[in-house]
Structure 1
Amino acid sequence: MDRRAFLRLGAALPVSVGAAGILPAHAATPPSASSGALPGVRAGDVQSAAGWRVYEMTTEVTLPPSAAPARIWLPVTAQQVGDYQRTLATEWNAPGALTRAATVSGYDVRMVAIEWPSAPDGGPLKASLLNKVAIRDRDVDLGAAPSPRAPRESAATLREYLRPTQLMPTDGIVRDTALKITAGLDDDMTRARAIYQWVVDNTCREASVRGCGTGDVVAMLNHTVKTGGIMNGKCADINGLFVALSRAAGIPARDAYGVRVDTSALGFKALGKAGDISKAQHCRSEFYTAGYGWIPADPADVRKVALEEVPGGLPMTDSKVRAARAMLLGAWEGNWVVYNHGHDVALPGGTLAPVPFLMYPNGQTVAGTLDSLDPDKFGYRISSKRVA
């Protein structure tokens, strides 16, 4: 089935970044009393005629007075990613708190760090973060010949996206598996296709896994070796496996950690969420080949369609699953926003160990670490709405 029948994109008009730019790497704004903002892309630079859609994402946190002293870290959307995402505005407010915007080491991971030394006037600790983002669909024509006009990535960036991470090593069982999958294949595109198909065939979405999973690819592969069974997990596990195998095969690849902000316009009930998106986080992935640039790949969402599109699930031979499988190598729908591509993220100012990735609010109170995967127990709500 031709995936391009499922995702037709309009002609692309150029979009440029405003002169203000963003914070340099490893930097943070000076702490402010309670509120702040980051410069964004000028709204006039986003052309609605080119398929851009604008969303406001609001994160609200409420903690009891007894939680102080407390710190929270809220992920901020990436300012500019390829030709499909532009952050127009980022604003936050936290009465009685010290706040700062930080960009931590590795992969340009942006966040707002908020600290309450004590409860303001004895009342609850409250914070809000607004991200206003323009996004659009992606579709890379993999049937076309490589083009010298395709977007190019720097050599330094490509080296970065070949590095191993704590949960995604590129040696041992990961490398052995990657070499078996790609044996006899002589170019990056063909190898990446083979890895994508192998991951779809050898994984299964597991509803009981909390959040998006952990992305521990060695544990997944070892499970298969020991049991001969399918590897279960969620998007950070399944797409993390694709990224690790690609890197081990010498193909630059990266996870993209984000959240769904709208329902699917392509007819996939499982691949969208609007309104309350507190539990709509989703990790996607990409790989890079010369002559094409960064190419979308989302084997995890293929498995999500199979499991969740209808009650009781769908077989992999179902036309809707086959449509998702064809589409999600080379394309994805613009109803999702990316925060960052980071791994092993250190949260500034706290005592928590680095987190594998940052796409949930994180927090630490006088009573201990807050559960990022439980919005109600943590005390946060994330909502989205489309705006003009």
Structure 2
Amino acid sequence: MKPHLSRRDLVKAASAALAVGAAPLAQSAEAARRFEPRPEGWRAFEVTTTVQLREAAGESVVWLPVPSVETSWQRTGDVSWSGNARDVRLAADGKTGAKVLVARFAPGTPDPRLVLTNRIETQNRAVDWKAPAPAPADPADLRHWLEPSELISTDGIVRKVARQIVLGARNDREKAQRIYDWIIVSTYREPKVRGCGAGDIKAMLESGNLSGKCADINALFVGLCRAAGVPARDIYGIRLVPSAFGYRELGANPASLKGAQHCRAEVYLKEHGWVAMDPADVTKVMRQETAEWIKDAGHPVVAPVRKGLFGAWEGNWMGYNSASDVKLPGAKQGKLGFFMYPQAETAAGARDPYDPDTFAYQITAREIAS
């Protein structure tokens, strides 16, 4: 485990991050790999979520995330469902627009069951750094993506660290690059964290414990960008199939997507529009791609991913939404920091979304003809 990081350590790390891009590749027995996602056409998938509540006392309610992302890299298709619920409806969170399938089961329903099927099309995504500037975005929308959420704060220590990292940066792209590099050299993936992590970035910086998973690490990236004046957001989703580039940790087994949830990030750059980012996946490759924990960001296994995920990502993943502080319709529990896992409540209380076998649910994906 890394030692506790003081605020002085954070400043030092911010300075060290600036040199990462120029670091020479480490000598290693591991051969250099390729990771260059580029748009190559659409792929179509059928994604099925099956919920079978166990020991469901009293009335039960299930909430499932439904893709609400429509972009140049994702197109959502038909949504269908079946099961033995008393009432099923497709709803949307009024504030964030996140789509949710809500199913209510009457008391005494034997083996409450819900099956949700989404059809989706995805493709690889990559920014063309030489392309002309896109049409300007809605200023009100950009202001929204500078605002804090309950977990992604932008003041206090978050603002202080952001300013240290981007000091002297000439434009937003350079700010984003510095923050991206700082995240890679200052944080690390902790496999023991449950689910995708909590995402409380203020607590991470104040404690100096900069470990976590994607909802922690990419949230920290997004929060630091916002605090530095760069619009940014997380997109919460799930991996669907293996990576075409041979990286085990950047793909999933379509026959069983338990634990395949993953959030990615975007930043808005005036000259390029919304640009793909994913520093959390760089830290995942560093920690879990090989038998040994790679601690050199210039390692030949890591370097292609570090370069590629600043501006691109692979289309083997489906985005649900960019929502934060989500209030599920009719839920007894409070707001969710993010919504990419199935949720359920029975008379006994809320089910644990990070424990799919007890919950119980299964998610699968199947590639189909587009």
Name the TM-score, length of structure 1 as normaliser: 0.84
Tell me how far apart the structure 2 counterparts of residues 337 and 368 of structure 1 sit (CA, whole Å). Answer: 29
CA distance 1:221–1:110, shift in 2 (3 Å): same
Q: Distance in 1 between matches of 2:227 and 2:344?
A: 34
Alignment of 1:290-369 (within 5 A): 290-316=270-296, 317-369=298-350
Identity %: 40
Q: Which of residues 129, 132, 138 is equivalent to 1:147?
A: 132
User: Which string of whole-angstrom CA distances, capped at 9 and with x for unpartnered residues, describes residues 276-299 of structure 1?
Assistant: 112100010000011201111111
SS in structure 2 of the partner of residue 191 of structure 1: helix
What letter matches 1:277 in structure 2? Answer: L
Q: 2:280 and 2:180 mapped to 1: Cα distance?
A: 10
Q: Does residue 126 of structure 1 match 2:113?
A: yes
Q: Deviations over 1:181-228 (max 9, x none)?
A: 11111311111111111111100000110000011001110122xxxx
* Shift in Å, 1:79: 4.5
CA–CA distance in structure 1, aligned partners of residues 338 and 135 of structure 2 = 26
Amino acid at match of 1:117: A
The answer as to 2:184 corresponding to 1:200 is yes
Pair 1:63–1:8, CA change in 2 (3 A): closer
Aligned counterparts of 1:331 and 1:9: Cα–Cα separation in 2: 8
Aligned-residue offset at 1:99: 1.1
Supply the distance in 2 between the matched residues of 1:237 and 1:163 (Cα, whole angstroms): 18
- TM-score, structure 2 length as denominator? 0.88
Listed one character per residue, the Cα deviations across residues 60-104 of structure 1 (whole Å, up to 9, x for unaligned) are 011136433111100001241x20000111111232421111110
Contact 1:60–1:380 (Cα < 8 Å) also in 2: yes
Give the corresponding residue for 1:269.
248
Higher relative contact order (CA 8 A, sep 6+): 2
AA aligned to 1:7 is: E
With 374-383 and 306-315 compared, the bigger mean Cα shift is at 306-315
Q: Which residue of 2 aligns with 1:239?
A: 218
Q: 1:66 to 1:231 in 2, by over 3 A?
A: closer
State the partner residue of 1:382. 363
3-state DSSP class of the match of 1:91? strand
Mapped partners of 2:194, 2:126: distance in 1? 31
Please tell me whether residue 259 in structure 1 is matched to residue 249 in structure 2: no
What letter is aligned with 1:357? Answer: F
**Residue 215 in 1 paired to residue 199 in 2?**
yes
Q: Secondary structure at the match of 2:117?
A: strand
Q: Secondary structure at the match of 2:100?
A: strand
Partner of 2:51: 61
Conservation of the 8 A alpha-carbon contact between 2:69 and 2:321: no
What letter matches 2:228 in structure 1? A
- 2:54 & 2:218 partners in 1: Cα distance? 37
Amino acid aligned to 2:86: A
> Which residue matches 2:173?
189
1:96, 1:119 within 8 Å by CA — same for their partners in 2?
Answer: no
Measured against aligned partners, the alpha-carbon deviations of 1:292-335 in whole angstroms (never above 9, x if no partner) come to 01111111000000111122232323201111100010000000
Q: Is the 1:65–1:119 Cα contact (8 Å) retained in structure 2? A: no
Q: Measure, in 2, the Cα distance between the counterparts of 1:96 and 1:300.
A: 38
After TM superposition, the structure 1 stretch with the greater mean CA deviation from structure 2, 292-301 or 266-275, is 266-275
Aligned equivalent of 1:88, options 74, 77, 80:
77
Match runs of 1:168-183 below 5 Å: 168-183=152-167
User: CA contact under 8 A between 2:36 and 2:304: conserved in structure 1?
Assistant: no
- Give me the whole-angstrom Cα distance separating, in 1, the residues matched to 2:325 and 2:37: 36
CA contact (8 A) 1:54 1:132 kept: yes
Q: Secondary structure at the match of 1:319?
A: coil
CA distance change for structure 1 residues 194 and 96 in 2, over 3 Å: closer, same or farther? Answer: closer
Mapped to 2, the partners of 1:188 and 1:318 lie a distance apart of: 27
Distance 1:343 1:66 in 2: 28
Q: C-alpha separation between the residues in 2 aligned to 1:128 and 1:72? A: 11
Aligned residue for 1:344, secondary structure, equals coil
* Count of matched residue positions in the alignment of Structure 1 and Structure 2: 338
- C-alpha change, 1:171 and 1:261, in structure 2 (3 Å) is same
Code of the aligned partner of 2:234: D
* Distance (whole Å) between structure 2 residues aligned to residue 65 and residue 179 of structure 1: 51
Aligned partners of 1:269 and 1:127: how far apart in 2?
Answer: 31
Comparing 265-274 and 313-322, the one that deviates more: 313-322
* 1:67 counterpart SS class: coil
CA contact (8 A) 1:60 1:128 kept: yes
- Structure 1 residue 261: Cα displacement: 0.2
Residue 362 of structure 1: CA displacement?
0.5
Q: Alpha-carbon deviation of 1:234?
A: 0.3
